[in-house]
Structures are given as structure tokens and as C-alpha cells.
Amino acid sequence: MAFIGSHVSVAGGLWLAIERGEALNCEAIQIFTKNQLQWKASPLPLHVCERFYRSYRESSIHSIVAHASYLINIAAPDGIWEKSIQALKDELERCEQLGIDALVLHPGSHRGEGTERGIATAVCALRRVLSETEGQRTKILLETMSGQGDALGTTLQELERLIDGCGAHRRLGICLDTCHLFAAGMELRTVDSYRRLVDAVERRLGLDRVGCWHLNDSREPRGSRKDRHSNLGEGELGLVPFSCIVNDIRWEQTPCLLETPKADDGDLKNLALLRKMRGW
């Protein structure tokens, strides 16, 4: 049940992420395919793609998800918009070359223009990217956001509007981040509230749209709109939502990925906890 794993570093070579994931016994991993804080990246040489793909195929990892650069803002009211479209297309191309099925993307920030304008701008960008990358396989997973600044995607309704605006394109999905959902105001700390969330996802978007979960506890209280991840069970969320997710048969093939602090063997401890909870 659930492909448990973590975000791992690609330092020293993309294929090393797979070794790191295996060393942690990850069933799924998340990576950046380029420096997440820079616009430009040199194209991937063929030998790197081949080495990555071979390592992936020979590993015990079932699924790899990429996370797009934090600089991309498809809802930007200025020149960053066009730059973001090109960068997103480049990220999708890299995923395609590496055999990665899904790319997590922050839905963007309207920068004071208002949610309506922001959604319209983001939809326009997504439609263009999807049409200009027609024939590719990699899905774009719009991530739920905590509500910091003018971020879009703080409610399921906003994600629904973004996806509907693109004609419910088959290459669009969502990534549910527990810390972000909770910081944005959603209750998640009980079995009942978890069920209500999943029911709402099913009703609004359909469970097939859920491409991955990000399993993060939250250092800040519910509704704080602050995005600060903490180790599982050490934050305001507690362990209940994580136990619900890893035991839910509906996520049997879904990557459930940690983005928790790495210090003091953080990954080892959080992964051990998730494995222990699976089967509770």
C-alpha cells in the first residue's frame, strides 16, 4: 500500500538520486532535474539520461516524481510569465528524457492582481504548455499551497478551476501536501477529517487526478498560511493523517513522499515511522 519515499538529492549526478533512494529503501523518490533556484540548465547529455534510466530500471524504486523549479510562476502578470512557460516546457522535456511520469508544479502567484486574474493567467499558460508539448507523456501535478503571499492553489476549488479551465486535460493532476493543506486551513488531524478531505477530492477532481502526496508535518498551526515543514509527529498535525494515508488502499500505487528536514537522519527516522504505521 502506497509507495513510500522521500525527496532525494541529485548532487554529483542525477543517477545518484536512485542510489540514495535505494539506500533509504524508498519505494518512490522525488528529485529536481536541475538546480531549482536557477532559470537556466544545460541540456541533459544522452549518457546521463541512459545512466539514469538504467539505474531506475534496475532499482527497486517503483516511481519517480520531479519537482519543478521554485522560480516558475505561470500566474505572473509580467515578463516572468513567458519565461515560466519556456522553463516549464524545458522541465517537461527533461522528465520525458529521463522517463519520469510526473512533474510537481506550484500553481503560481498572482502578485497582487487578484485570484480571478491569476487563475485566468495560469490557465492560459497551462493550455499553451500542454498544447506545445503534445505527444509527451509527463503529467503536470498542481500542488496544494499553504497560502503564503499571493499563491494560487490554496483550496481544492482553485485546483479544480485550473484543471477545468484546461478542459480537464488528461496530463493534469494534483499533488496533495499535508503541511500545505493544513496551513491553508484544512482540518486533517482526525480520521473523520481525513475522510472528508478525500471525499472532497473525489467529488471535485476525482481520485485519478492525485499523482502524489507530500507527507510533511507542520510547524505552524492550522490556518497559519505559513509553509514550514517538520518531522512526522513533531509538528501540529500529529501522526493520524499519515497513518490514514499509508493505510488507504486507494493510494496503493501513489507515491507518498517526505519533504521533511534531513538533519539527524531525518529521512531514516520518518521513513521508519511510515513503514511502522503501515499496517496499523
**Contacts to Zn ion by CB under 5 A:** 143, 177, 214
> ∠73-78-79 over CA atoms, to 5°?
85
| Contact residues for 140 (Cβ-Cβ < 8 A; gap 6+) | 88, 92, 102, 103, 105, 126, 129, 130, 171, 172, 173
Query: Shortest approach of Zn ion to residue 57 CB, angstroms?
Result: 27
Q: Select 177 or 236, whichever has its Cβ closest to Zn ion.
A: 177
Q: What is the DSSP string of 37-74?
A: T-S--PPPPHHHHHHHHHHHHHSS--EEEEE--TT--T
Q: Which is nearer to Zn ion, 139 or 214 (CB)?
A: 214
By C-beta, is 48 or 233 nearer to Zn ion? Answer: 233
**Least distance CB 250 / Zn ion (angstroms):** 20
Contacts of 221 (CB under 8 A, 6+ apart): 236
Pairing between β-strand 255-258 and β-strand 3-7 as defined by DSSP bridges: parallel
59 contacts 25 by C-beta, under 8 angstroms: no
Contact 17, 28 (CB under 8 A): no
Least distance from Zn ion to the Cβ atom of residue 51, Å: 26
- Least Å distance, CB 144 to Zn ion, is 8
**55 versus 198: smaller Cβ distance to Zn ion:** 198
Least CB distance to Zn ion at residue 104 (A): 6
Closest distance to Zn ion from the beta carbon of 58 (Å): 28
Residue number, 101 or 177, with CB nearest to Zn ion: 177
Find the helix packing angle between 80-98 and 46-58, rounded to 10°.
Answer: 60
Rounded to the nearest whole angstrom, what is the least distance from the CB of residue 69 to Zn ion in the complex?
11
In our burial notation (b when 16+ CB lie closer than 10 A, e otherwise), range 128-149 reads ebbeebeeeebbbbbbbbbbbe
State in angstroms the smallest separation of the CB of 214 from Zn ion: 3
- Of 143 and 236, nearer to Zn ion (C-beta) is 143
The three-point CA angle 107-209-245 to 5° equals 100
* Distance from chain centroid for Cα 42: 23
Q: Where does 88-200 show beta strands of DSSP type E?
A: 102-105, 139-143, 172-177
Alpha carbon separation from 144 to 29, 47, 180 (Å, rounded): 19, 35, 6
Q: Which residue's CB is nearer to Zn ion, number 80 or number 175?
A: 175
Nearer of residues 177 and 217 to Zn ion, judged by Cβ: 177
